[in-house]
């Protein structure tokens, strides 16, 4: 089955093309600066890369250009776009309505739109991508894969906040969690590396990128995660504050006369590593720290300490631990940050192999970086959210075909 995966942001479209029968990614690429000047597409086919500039006023034009490139005589991998069997769409917020991936119809689109109040930066462009792709490819199944779905297994005492019940009942304010597709993929891979069944595993997954989150995965299911109602809660991130006393928000709004819009911008786009070190790029911060920059050193310690706190908390929540998994940009590439996170955790039975940790910084394959003496395995596992999307889509399309269900509009 040939499946196109789409991840539409406000000004970008990430895409990949899979042959699920051969378990092979044929193409991976991104359209940058959608709706802005200087739009371009960057596509990889094996070891070959192409970058092309073009005018891209909206998501539909972006998707049309992607499809054109996929069937191009020189850069393409298909003869005809009709070879695409289904399209898989990443949707950030599925609320309580979606506990798994689902085929998209008008009702699903309406629910995604209704949930935009919970994810105003993410769901609207996700929906734009869905509508644009359906306009271009109207006669094949389109599947929504939700970031929040994996965390729907959290018990109520974990996902509820200690706020007035009517806030939850009327506004659905609760912990949802994000990066679910990534946490699911790397926890499944960790179980295989542990030779463990889903019924007997306790894993902490660390998705550490510009956006970052931790998940406690027990017996293959998420039982807790650091992000909450929105992606703002939890770890110190590139530009997001993560956990903080809500009284700070009230204090600053009152004393600095900040509007809710201004406060949102500060907490989501001007805080985190950027707020402390004046840079949101971990590579720059690590380089400055090596040179003795005090702000960079503080940012690293602060961010690593927050991750360590969550490891301790989730160790207890899981009732023990079999493995820790590092993934995403920082988790996969920064040996220095991994060592800071795991510093002085030997009393927990967590011991890093320093040589293996340094070696992993250059590798893209899965590897173990714990020492032989470590009671808890430590893995670096590159995430593959697109593969999960493709596999989920194949499963749902096969279910539709087996039941002879017509593709909904």
**Which residues are catalytic, by number?**
147
* Token code pair at residue 315: 């160790």
Residues recorded for the chain:
409
The secondary structure of the chain, three-state, reads CEEEEEEECCCEEEEEEEECCCCEEEEEEEEECCCCCCCEEEEEECCEEEEEECCCCCHHHHHHHHHHHHCCCCCCCCCCHHHCCEEEEEECCCCCCCCCCEECCHHHHHHHHHHHHCCCCCHHHHHHHHHHHHHHCCCCCEEEEECCHHHHHCCHHHHCCCCCHHHHHHHCCCCCCCCHHHHHHHHHHHHHHCCCCCCCCEEEEEEECCCEEEEEEECCEEEEECCCCCCCCCCCCCCCCCCCCHHHHHHHHHHCCCCHHHHHHHHHHCCHHHHHHCCCCHHHHHHHHHCCCHHHHHHHHHHHHHHHHHHHHHHHHHCCCCEEEEEHHHHHHCHHHHHHHCCCCHHHCCCECHHHHHHHCCCCCCEECECCCCCCEEEECCCCHHHHHHHHHHHHHHHHHHCCCCCCC
Q: What is the rounded distance in angstroms from the CA atom of residue 254 to the CA atom of residue 210?
A: 30
Q: What is the distance of C-alpha 115 from the center of its chain?
A: 18
């Amino acid at each position: 089955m040939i499946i196109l995966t789409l991840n539409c942001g406000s000004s970008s479209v990430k895409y990949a093309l899979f042959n699920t029968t051969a378990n092979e990614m044929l193409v991976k690429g991104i359209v940058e600066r959608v709706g802005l000047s200087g739009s371009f597409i960057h596509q990889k086919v094996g070891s070959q890369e192409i970058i092309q500039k073009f005018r891209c006023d909206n998501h539909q034009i972006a998707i049309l250009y992607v499809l054109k490139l996929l069937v191009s005589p020189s850069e393409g991998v298909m003869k005809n776009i009709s070879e695409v069997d289904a399209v898989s769409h990443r949707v950030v917020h599925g609320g309580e309505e979606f506990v798994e991936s689902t085929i998209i119809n008008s009702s699903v689109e309406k629910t995604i739109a209704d949930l935009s109040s919970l994810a105003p930066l993410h769901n609207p462009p996700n929906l734009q991508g869905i509508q644009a792709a359906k306009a271009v490819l109207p006669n094949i199944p389109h599947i929504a894969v939700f970031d929040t779905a994996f965390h729907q297994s959290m018990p109520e005492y974990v996902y509820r906040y200690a706020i007035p019940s009517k806030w939850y009942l009327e506004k659905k304010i609760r912990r949802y969690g994000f990066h679910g597709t990534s946490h699911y993929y790397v926890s499944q891979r960790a179980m295989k590396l542990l030779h463990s069944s889903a019924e007997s595993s306790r894993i902490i997954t660390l998705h550490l990128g510009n956006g970052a989150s931790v998940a406690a995965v027990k017996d293959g299911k998420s039982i807790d995660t650091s992000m909450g109602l929105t992606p703002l809660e939890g770890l110190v991130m590139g530009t997001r504050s993560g956990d903080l006393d809500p009284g700070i928000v009230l204090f600053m709004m009152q004393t600095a006369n900040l509007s809710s819009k201004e406060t949102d911008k500060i907490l989501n786009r001007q805080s985190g590593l950027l707020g402390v070190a004046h840079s949101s790029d971990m590579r720059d911060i690590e380089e400055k720290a090596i040179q003795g920059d005090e702000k960079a050193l503080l940012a690293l310690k602060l961010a690593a300490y927050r991750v360590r706190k969550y490891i301790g908390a989730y160790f207890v929540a899981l009732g023990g631990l079999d493995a820790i998994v590092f993934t995403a940009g920082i988790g996969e590439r920064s040996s220095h940050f991994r060592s800071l996170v795991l510093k002085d955790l030997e009393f927990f039975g967590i011991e890093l192999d320093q040589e293996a940790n340094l070696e992993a910084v250059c590798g893209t394959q899965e590897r173990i970086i714990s020492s032989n003496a470590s009671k808890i395995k430590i893995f670096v596992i590159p995430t593959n959210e697109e593969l999960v999307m493709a596999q989920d889509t194949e499963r749902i399309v096969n279910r539709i075909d087996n039941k002879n269900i017509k593709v909904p509009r």
